[in-house]
Amino acid sequence: MRVRTALSTAALAALVLIAPALATVPATAAPTASPATAPAADTATPDVTAPAGYVGMSPIRVLDTRDDSKVPETRTARPLRAGEYFSTPIATGCLAPPRQECFGVVPTDATAVVVNVTVTDPTADGFVTLGPPGAPGTKPATSSINFKPGQTVSNLVTVATGPVSHGVPWLTLYNNAGTTDVVLDVVGYFRTAATDKYRPLYPSRIADSRRDTTGRIDTDSVRSYQVARTELGTADATAVVLNVTAVDGYRDGFLTAYPAGEPRPDVGSNVNFPAGSTVANRVVVPVGQDGRINLYNHVGPVHVVIDIVGYYGPSGKGRYSALRTPVRSFDSRLGGGPVPGSGTRMIQAVPTDGSVPNAFGVEANITATNVLADGYLAVTREPDLQTGTSTVNVVRGQTTSNSATAEVLESTGTYAVYNHGADLDLIADVNGYYVTD
């Protein structure tokens, strides 16, 4: 069931995000100079928000730097500049000075938001990071999304909200290099008063149009999927956490996920893909009518693969504490060497000093760079746990990121990343922790 908010929203105009064909020039991964060689999870007591429950929604656009009407505070469209920290209200619009009140889409006590970040028309290899404001001339130690010139790419990011101003919480973005346009679609938020908790699942594939009789989703078409299922343990799920992969589309296009039984959002994309490519993105979507979700394909028939990794609901295991400043937990470029093909690397994601007690999972961002061949990464709770699912689809010579809602071994605070392909460098950031009450 979709949770509705009484907060005002402006009319949403459809804006298509289309990606050009992929090049082979590698994008720039997040900085190597800032983090220490030891895992960031062990360096200090984390500054986290209070544990909070989840509230889901259909996508609501709160920023599009290409459109004056979708830049809430200034109403002036322009790309983000190189090295710029750009702060924006989580709102669909703001009144002109002197009042400046904004039309928020999450409550002021929201501790974190789940937002789909889309970068389009970048002019240089680089990355964008969502996090706290920073001083001019500095750069964050983590990245949220990586890209190369001319690319359109999306990633789901769960990030702590910034200070409340003009009656709404804010977010801050940092652009590393060149100029780039950025689109933000909010798909949910956390607050301490919310009751839905997260529960990880054994990752499983629930749909693969390459293997079943359904075939590609056609242009301007919707396909419905049953996600509330007793055999999956999701019978009372109010929202599901999925990895959605677009495979071998006929044209550049995008996919949008939303609850069954509700109107398709006027704007909002979850997976942006170039023709002929394989592109994955993490998707959190409310469960709709009859326990189903819908997936809309904008243009060009495309195969779709869906893996389920967890859900939110009253029978969930625990709540989410967001790091106010995300941390880097692993970077193979700083030690340990590349992850070999058919190899597994254990990631220390939870501090070992007991500063985050009862943690059973993390919100992570996984980046593959210096990739020698096409392949994929799979995130699992423990090594040698082959689930037949994937988390990040990697391409030779390209830097690729995807978020991972990773269950950890509670005895060690670690999770496993399996590399199905050739040698590559692996980077892992932590945005927050799931903890039992």
Q: How far is CA 32 from the centre of its chain?
A: 22
State both tokens at 209.
């149009």
pLDDT of residue 15: 35
Ramachandran category for residue 271: left, alpha or beta (phi over 0 → left; psi -120 to 50 → alpha)? beta
Q: Which helix (H) or strand (E) holds 272?
A: strand 271-273
Instruction: Let me know the angle formed at the C-alpha of 320 by 339 and 296, rounded to the nearest 5 degrees.
Output: 75
Helices (H), 103-151: none
- How crowded is residue 205: how many other Cβ atoms within 10 Å of its Cβ? 15
State both tokens at 383.
């090594």
Contact 117, 431 (CB under 8 A): no
Q: What's the whole-model pTM score? A: 0.89
- Alpha-carbon distance of 316 to 58, in angstroms, equals 21
State both tokens at 145.
């999304």
State both tokens at 198.
């997260």
Phi, psi for 333 (deg, rounded to 5): -70, -15
> What number of residues does the chain have?
437
Q: Which helix (H) or strand (E) holds 366?
A: strand 359-369
Contact 139, 34 (CB under 8 A): yes
Using a 10 angstrom Cβ sphere, with 0-12 exposed, 13-18 middle and 19 or more buried, the burial of residue 25 is: exposed
CA distances from 106 to 32, 103, 186 (A): 34, 9, 9
Contact 330, 377 (CB under 8 A): no
Among 50, 79, 52, 53, smallest CA distance to 64 is for: 79
pLDDT of residue 437: 81
- Alpha-carbon distance of 271 to 310, in angstroms, equals 19
* Residues whose CB is less than 8 angstroms from the CB of residue 339 and which lie 6 or more positions away in sequence, other chains included: 332, 345, 417, 419, 423, 424, 425, 426
pLDDT of residue 191: 98
- Alpha-carbon distance of 260 to 283, in angstroms, equals 15
pLDDT of residue 29: 58
State both tokens at 225.
């999927």
- Alpha-carbon distance of 180 to 147, in angstroms, equals 10
Q: Quick one: DSSP state of residue 83? A: T
Q: Quick one: DSSP state of residue 32? A: S
pLDDT of residue 233: 95
- Structure confidence by residue, pLDDT tens digits, 73-89: 999 999 999 999 999 99
- Alpha-carbon distance of 171 to 144, in angstroms, equals 13
Among 17, 15, 13, smallest CA distance to 273 is for: 17
Question: CA 2, 406, 249, 211: dihedral to nearest 10 degrees?
Answer: -90
Among 119, 215, 104, 223, smallest CA distance to 176 is for: 119
pLDDT of residue 45: 75
Q: How far is CA 182 from the centre of its chain?
A: 14
Using a 10 angstrom Cβ sphere, with 0-12 exposed, 13-18 middle and 19 or more buried, the burial of residue 287 is: buried
Profile the chain (437 residues) by mean pLDDT over runs of 10 residues. 34 34 38 38 73 95 96 95 97 89 96 97 97 93 95 96 96 97 97 98 96 94 97 97 97 96 91 94 96 97 98 97 97 95 96 95 97 96 87 94 96 96 97 95
